[in-house]
Amino acid sequence: MFLSLPRLVTAVLFSALLVTTAQAQDNSPAATGPSGGPLAGVAVLQLVVAPLSAESARCGLQADLVKESFQQPLTTEGLGLQKSAHVRIIVKATTVIYTETTCISNIEASAVQNTRYFDRKTGTERAGQVLLWQESGLFVTGERDHVVLTNIGFRDLARSFIRKWKIDQ
């Protein structure tokens, strides 16, 4: 799918507006309000990197580099990582190649927790997931620089998680 240049510019400007709005909301009194949020007491996480597409690979993204970029800020903060934990962070990258040398990647990370509950209507126990946190970003770069900038983006997503985690404690 190829976008016209005006549409691409509109998408980049809209993404910048969303990032600016999200940063403004992070500094709001509600964001720095009382502790005890959904991430309270979380000390161990499971980190999962979703499979990357051929387009992502062509633009230089590699699952091990994505994992390392996201994991480094978490371990620096003292959060433990295990292969199985109650809270799982899922990291994704969706990439399209706009022109022969321009890569566009939407990167996303979300923290979910498995839950079990009793459904009174059916009289059965059910399982599900609760979304605890989510953040994303859009990167439009040349193919040569794409991997470096998106890996910085993954590190920034991890730092966003840490900010939320600290508020909730």
Whole-angstrom distance, CA of residue 115 vs CA of residue 20: 33
pLDDT at 23: 47
Q: Is 75 domain-assigned?
A: yes
The pLDDT score that the predictor gives to residue 36 is 85
Q: Report the alpha-carbon distance of residue 152 to residue 128 in Å, rounded.
A: 32
* Separation CA 86–CA 132 (nearest Å): 12
Total structural domains in the chain? Answer: 1
Residue 34, pLDDT score: 52
The pair of three-digit structure tokens given for residue 16, joined into one six-digit string: 């910048």
pTM: 0.74
pLDDT over 60 (residue 68): yes
Least confident range from 24-28, 47-51, 129-133, 137-141: namely: 24-28
Q: Is 16 helix (H, G, I), strand (E, B) or coil?
A: helix
Are 72 and 114 in contact, with CB atoms under 8 Å apart? no
In a domain, 19, yes or no: no
Task: Please indicate, yes or no, if residue 33 is contained in any of the structural domains.
Answer: no
pLDDT-based confidence at residue 118 (cuts at 50, 70, 90)? confident
pLDDT for the residue 152: 96
Q: 143 lies in a domain?
A: yes
Residue 164 forms part of a structural domain: yes
**CATH number, domain containing residue 64:** 3.40.50
Does 20 map to a domain? no
| 156 located within any domain | yes
Q: Which domain holds residue 74?
A: 42-168
